[in-house]
Structure 1
Amino acid sequence: ATVELWSSREGAFSKARKRLEREPLSIERTKGSEILFGIAPCSLALSQARRGLFRLFLKQSSGPRRLVMSEFILQAMARGVPVHHVKRRELDALCRGQVHQGVCLEATPLRFKSLEEAEEPDLGDEGTPNRQLIWLVLEQIQDPMNLGALLRSAYFLGVDRVVTSHRNSCPLTPTVSKASSGAMEVFDVYSTDDLRSFLKAKTAEGWEVVGTASKPEDVENVPVISCLEFRWNKPVIIVIGSEGDGLSLETQLLCHRMLAIPPGRALHPGIESLNVSVATGILLHSICSQKRRHSD
């Protein structure tokens, strides 16, 4: 009986120990912080002076990423950020199961910048106007993965400024930073409470406002052309609408022209459009490539 009791207790202890090993340790977050995750967002956040930084969490590792982790430690030491080596399950818990690549960074959130904070762009003078400016305006983009992909494309292709509508738009979250491959950490994103007044003001300053249409046949009162035919000789604003509904009618009517991407084949019903970030990448490449040719 004593042997059976001891065996039973040993079994209970073993189960309890395994349960504790499976359950991540609870790491209490600093008030007002968020958890960035992934190699690119965390490295770029450490290298920039745009966030308050609290703690760096690295996976205990002796594998192929050991050199990367050593570089993170050096970056953190240079910024005076404490480094904590933790197990994978702790990192999983910190970023709620997202793909962290062995790195999490506790930091203050990034906020949209107000247009009032922005430097006025150099539009040149009447004799030598600066025709090379391209701004991207986002109306009610709500999916963080889409917003991140949009920022990554805008940064890569040479967009000068990104402005979002404040209402019904995704904030600058760690998921957005990861989807942008860290572009959000180095690229200012502006926000406006009154998108229509902003577009009207830019038109009055001599900018061309260009909208986008996934279904050209649904657009009324605004000329629609293929993005392949679009030519520009003044500062231009490209306006992108929300994932589901596209541009609102009120915003469409403030556009001088609407751009459409011609498909490469006859399309089946139900798959007649592109993801908003993919479509924007195609449009920006078409337009920004003209910018590069002009500057050659």
Structure 2
Amino acid sequence: MERALRAVLRCCARGVSPGPWWAEGLRYRSASRAPAAAGGDEERPGPERRGGGQLPSAVPRGGPQDLTRSPPGPRSRPALWHKGYERDPRPAGRESWSWREGECSRVRRRLEQKPLAVGRTKGSEILFGIAPCSLALSQSRRELFRLFLKQGRGSQPLVRSEFVLQATARGVPVLEVSRRELDALCRGQVHQGVCLEATPLRFKSLEEAEKPELKDEENPSRELVWLVLEQIQDPMNLGALLRSAYFLGVDRVVTSQRNSCPLTPTVSKASSGAMEVFDVYSTDDLQSFLKTKTAEGWEVVGTVSRPEEVENVPVISCLEFQWEKPLLVVIGSEGDGLSLETQLLCHRMLAIPPGRALHPGIESLNVSVATGILLHSICSQKQRQGG
């Protein structure tokens, strides 16, 4: 059996079909050993071997087709090779085993790599993740189309049931889809088994930001803190900034329109859903906005990682900073920080003192981490004032 299999593999390696002869060879060997296995006559001697080979070279008259009519005798077994197979390496209706197996593997790989197409409503986007989808369902800030849940109960049946209840209350259809379809919907992001099709969120205008909120009307003497973002481009950073600002009690977030990241599903996921409940405002002229707020009596403070790079603006530690009037905290872009024009409009610059001597190249913090530290230092004073 092993010899016949090796012969088949050699034929496949040369790109030809092994043909019917190898099966006849196996039948001959089984027949020659059958009496001994049954306990009858002694085993008949096998075919003569030629030069240590496995099978004789003689082929019955008439070529390989004769093998299907009568089994070969011990001395007339077919050779491992015959020129008839060279003329027709792949006879009709008898494809090579190795070729069929390889083709099946290629088809299977193409099917696995082909992305699944899931219909989308025009103008919609796909939110992903438990927190963003749950908060979007609980608010009325988006138009909602469909909720997608991973097939099967999974490991969080209570979360799944809550989503179904929320979607039912809002009249949103719930569809169960496979994990591959969820991956295709959110383009491979971490969806935690849930996606939501909805309309995008947009920035609000500065005119809307000037309208007092209900909590401001109840306590008009409370000092306000606004976070101003200049050209934040990374959606992960923007999401982390919104999450920190919401958690620490910032009243408004204003961002520049030029070279800034929009409010995408990635931002919502990075903010852990804070973007779904926290308004974000934008302006196309950040410098004019800062000048207007300064004229209204607001203090404008910027942030800097290297104090020696700042000119004509005092730099103090965030631990020493004290404020007694409405405040704008301005944060610059990830790479360049605040532009020179914006720096010159700041009354003071805040720096975070390091806890050790720093090696070159790691002398600054990520913009979202640095902002979280600064906001905590500033907003803690606001809490002590009873804001």
TM-score range normalised by the length of the shorter chain: over 0.9
Contact 2:153 2:160 in 1 (8 A): no
Higher share of residues assigned strand: 1
When normalised by structure 1's length, the TM-score is 0.92
Structure-to-structure mapping, 1:61-210, within 5 angstroms: 61-121=152-212, 130-210=221-301
3-state SS of paired residue (1:32): coil
| Further displaced range: 172-181 or 12-21 | 12-21
What residue number does 1:264 align with?
A: 355
Give yes or no for contact 1:130–1:234 (8 Å, CA) kept in 2: no
Instruction: Name the structure 2 match of 1:49.
Output: 140
Q: Please name the residue that 2:309 is paired with.
A: 218
- Superposition deviation, residue 16 in structure 1: 4.5
The structural deviation recorded for 1:65 is 1.6
The one-character-per-residue Cα deviations of 1:221-271 (angstroms, maximum 9, x if unpaired) are: 000000000000001000000000000010001100000000000000110
Q: 1:14 to 1:247 in 2, by over 3 A?
A: closer
Does the 8 Å CA contact 1:140/1:242 hold for their aligned counterparts? yes
Q: Is the 8 A contact 2:209 2:252 kept in 1?
A: no
Aligned partners of 1:164 and 1:189 also within 8 Å: yes
- Ranges in structure 1 where 5+ consecutive residues have no aligned partner: none
Deviation at 1:14, TM superposition (A): 8.2
Identity %: 82
Q: CA deviation at 1:10?
A: 9.0
CA deviation map 1:56-114 (0-9, x unaligned): 11101222122211111111111111111000000001111000000111110000000
Give the Cα–Cα distance (whole angstroms) in 2 for the partners of residues 246 and 26 of structure 1. 41
Q: TM-score, normalised by structure 2?
A: 0.71
- CA deviation map 1:34-74 (0-9, x unaligned): 11100000000011000111111110122212221111111
Hey, what's the Cα distance between the residues in 2 that align with 1:13 and 1:73? 40
State the Cα deviation string for residues 155-190 of structure 1 (Å, max 9, x = none). Answer: 000000000001110000000000000000000000
Structure 2: gaps (5+ residues) = 1-18, 20-91
What's the CA shift string for 1:179-204, capped at 9, x where partnerless? Answer: 00000000000000111111111011
Partner of 2:381: 290
- The code of the aligned residue for 2:367 comes to V
Report what 2:150 is aligned to: 59
**Partner SS, residue 131 of structure 2:** helix
Q: Which is bigger in relative contact order (C-alpha 8 A, separation at least 6)?
A: 1
Residues 236 and 267 in structure 2, CA contact (< 8 A), matched pair in contact too = yes
Number of corresponding residues:
293
Moved more, 55-64 or 276-285: 55-64
Amino acid at match of 2:320: E
